[in-house]
Structure 1
Amino acid sequence: MSLIAVTDSKIHGIGMNDSSIALDDLDLRILDQLQQDSSLTNEALAERVHASAPTSLRRVRRLTEAGIIQRQVALLDAAQLGRGLTAVIEITLDRQDAERMQAFEQHITQESAIQQCYRVSPGPDFILIAQVMDMPAYHALAHRAFTTQANVRNVRAFFSIHCAKFETRLPLPSRQA
């Protein structure tokens, strides 16, 4: 996970290891374009950000090595692939010591239907996002992933009936004066 800090003269990407990389306007334009379409060829990307192809390639490599670009993926339509039921799941553990929290995370991240797992506070200990085929598939997931775990005290699930917005794109600061 990376953050972006804005100072008077520079924008710094701050990674989890406290290393910092200065981001200029070209870096931000590259990141913005790749968030919209990561399948762009280097030449097309360079043209869109008004840079040479070698400069664009060098910048993308630097942003990747710094961990700002974590990976490039295709976003799939879950409904068309038979995974149209989205579940937002709250999990409360009986005991919340570091070892048990980590054990639950390790267990739950092995489940392919669980797409996102967040430790949260206050309230439940975890919020999970799952994509499953239907209610019987959710029931099987819940039994396999939650009810068989002795440390899970409470499971509360919400099922999406409509998605008004799904966005993976992060808003980036503007360097325009």
Structure 2
Amino acid sequence: MELNKLDAIDLQLLDSLQHDASLSNVALADKVNVSPPTCLRRVKRLADGGWIERQIAVLNADQLGASLGHGLSALVEVSLDKQGAEHLDTFEARAVAHGAVQQCWRVSPGPDFMLVVQARDMPHYLAISQALFTQDANVRNVKAFFATKRAKFTTTWPLFK
């Protein structure tokens, strides 16, 4: 497998793993019609090549929120006053390091960043916003949107037409 090329079996393996990474090697091999040793070798090569970033468990947000009180999801637009590389990097590093920030995207045009923030409640969100936005003199504008319903959430990529 070339570093930048994926064949049909690679795509089948990636598609199967992104839907259920808990499959045993034997079950995965059976699903894509290759031998278990071939499957193991290919998956290792995909991981070593960076195609598989990591394998995780996706938790049920509704059940977790009900149990732990993580009931507030916010999508937050952040615009900085100065957009020099060092200013963008500094804010990004602070946002990425904060445990309540689930996702951090640099975007263009419009705001400089889009964050997905998970908080227990509004007082917790206030503490997060003070740590990330109010204490930074370079943050010009923050616009938060609070989720009322998550209609879809997926981590999968469409690999087949």
Matched, 1:42 2:42: no
The residue identity in structure 2 corresponding to 1:152 is V
2:99 aligned to which of 99, 112, 137: 112
Following superposition, the deviation at residue 80 of structure 1 comes to 2.3
* Structure 1 counterpart of 2:141: 154
CA distance, structure 2, for counterparts of residue 136 and residue 121 of structure 1:
30
CA distance, structure 1, for counterparts of residue 41 and residue 70 of structure 2:
38
1:69 aligned to which of 40, 49, 52: 52
Structure with greater strand percent: 1
CA distance, structure 2, for counterparts of residue 84 and residue 33 of structure 1:
31
CA distance, structure 2, for counterparts of residue 44 and residue 173 of structure 1:
21
Matched, 1:169 2:156: yes
Number of aligned positions between the proteins: 157
Structure 1 segments of 4 or more deviating over 4 A? none
1:90 aligned to which of 52, 77, 88: 77
Following superposition, the deviation at residue 144 of structure 1 comes to 1.1
Following superposition, the deviation at residue 84 of structure 1 comes to 2.7
The residue identity in structure 2 corresponding to 1:123 is G
Following superposition, the deviation at residue 100 of structure 1 comes to 0.5
CA distance, structure 1, for counterparts of residue 143 and residue 115 of structure 2:
10
Which blocks of at least 5 consecutive residues in structure 2 are unaligned?
A: none
* Structure 2 counterpart of 1:126: 113
Supply the RMSD in Å over aligned alpha carbons: 1.4
CA distance, structure 1, for counterparts of residue 97 and residue 57 of structure 2:
21
1:78 and 1:131 in contact (8 A); partners too = no
**Normalized against structure 1, the TM-score is what?**
0.85
2:128 aligned to which of 141, 158, 161: 141
Structure with greater helix percent: 2
Q: How high is the sequence identity, in percent, across the aligned residues? A: 52
Following superposition, the deviation at residue 170 of structure 1 comes to 0.1
CA distance, structure 1, for counterparts of residue 29 and residue 83 of structure 2:
49
Which blocks of at least 5 consecutive residues in structure 1 are unaligned?
A: 1-11, 13-18
Matched, 1:59 2:46: no
The residue identity in structure 2 corresponding to 1:130 is V
